């Protein structure tokens, strides 16, 4: 015999208080991206500002997409006797525990998620997803709510065969998928950063000055080709700015590692310091000697 549903005031909250924050996190990410784009464009619309704005926008959209994929279907779940009260942003449904066919949860994700597979589809879908309360000591075990809800559902479940539902993905499959998504996000971040560096007038000015050096050409040969990665930082404010860059130039006879300190004044970039080091050659080649008085 099933026990009578508990009054709504006695319902027990099963989902985390942070559920609304995760559910609407994509909006926060988009707002952050919009604010970043706006601040990057304040004070000018030069190439550096446009590249920075594009980078911030891409990062914000990526974070928003990740939040939608992981947390877009989160529900608020309360337990009242043998009834689960499941709420979305717009509606609340009541699901008998006997209609829950399978209870399972993540072990390695943060935050943890619990999934309730129903015997029959509901207005909110056949799979209910929610974030349980935070555990301080979790290890690699499933959340205690998984075993508790599974036992309660078994006690109330009727003997009639359930409607077929898709089996959950294996833990390894979820870890592999998340690893691939993380690798793609990192690759996209690096690619956007590399493109922004290569497109910057500061890097182009340093590259042109290095290629014009006859001493460097004699050391590594010509033609000089750009290396794969550029390290450093570029800061601009209107018509002024500074940049510190590290990059490689490859020639038929060797590779030069360049260090550039650039300054922007009146909208134009010039080299404050530009040195090249060639393996096997003592000392550095000074590509930006001080101007004669």
Domains of the chain: 1-199 (no CATH), 201-286 (3.10.450)
Q: Closest Cα partner for 59 from 198, 180, 230, 191?
A: 191
pLDDT of residue 86: 93
**Residues 76, 89 contacting (CB under 8 angstroms):** no
pLDDT digits (tens, 9 = 90+) for 13-35: 999 988 888 888 878 877 777 77
**Residue 90's pLDDT band (boundaries 50, 70, 90)?**
confident
Of residues 28 and 80, the one with the higher pLDDT is 80
pLDDT cut 70: percent of the chain above it: 75
Other Cβ atoms less than 10 A from the Cβ of 202: the count is: 28
On the question of pLDDT at 43 being above 60, the answer is no
pLDDT of residue 9: 47
**Residue 73's pLDDT band (boundaries 50, 70, 90)?**
confident
pLDDT of residue 293: 43
Lowest mean pLDDT among 32-41, 199-208, 251-260: 32-41
pLDDT digits (tens, 9 = 90+) for 260-283: 999 998 888 888 899 999 988 888
Q: Closest Cα partner for 115 from 255, 14, 235?
A: 14
Highest mean pLDDT among 137-141, 176-180, 196-200: 196-200
pLDDT of residue 175: 63
On the question of pLDDT at 4 being above 80, the answer is no
């Amino acid at each position: 015999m099933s026990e009578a549903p508990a009054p709504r005031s006695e319902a027990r909250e099963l989902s985390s208080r942070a559920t609304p924050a995760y559910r609407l996190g994509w909006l926060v990410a988009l707002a952050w991206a919009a604010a970043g784009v706006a601040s990057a464009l304040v004070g000018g619309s030069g190439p550096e500002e446009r590249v920075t704005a594009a980078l911030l926008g891409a990062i914000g959209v990526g974070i928003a997409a990740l939040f939608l994929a992981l947390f877009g279907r989160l529900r608020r779940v309360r337990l009242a006797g043998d009834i689960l009260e499941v709420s979305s942003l717009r509606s609340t449904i009541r699901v008998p525990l006997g209609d829950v066919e399978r209870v399972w949860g993540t072990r390695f994700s943060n935050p943890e998620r619990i999934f309730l597979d129903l015997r029959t589809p509901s207005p909110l879908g056949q799979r209910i997803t929610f974030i349980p309360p935070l555990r301080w000591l979790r290890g690699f075990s499933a959340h205690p709510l998984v075993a508790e809800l599974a036992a309660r559902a078994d006690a109330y479940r009727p003997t009639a065969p359930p409607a077929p539902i898709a089996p959950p993905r294996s833990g390894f499959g979820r870890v592999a998928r998340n690893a691939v998504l993380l690798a793609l996000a990192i690759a996209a971040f690096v690619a956007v950063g590399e493109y922004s560096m290569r497109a910057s007038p500061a890097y182009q000015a340093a590259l042109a000055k290095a290629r014009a050096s006859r001493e460097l050409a004699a050391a590594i040969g010509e033609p000089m080709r750009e290396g794969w990665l550029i390290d450093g930082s570029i800061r601009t404010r209107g018509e002024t700015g500074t940049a510190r860059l590290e990059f490689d130039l490859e020639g038929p006879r060797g590779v030069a590692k360049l260090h550039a300190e650039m300054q922007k004044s009146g909208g134009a970039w010039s080299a404050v310091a530009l040195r090249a080091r060639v393996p096997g050659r003592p000392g550095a080649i000074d590509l930006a000697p001080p101007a004669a008085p």
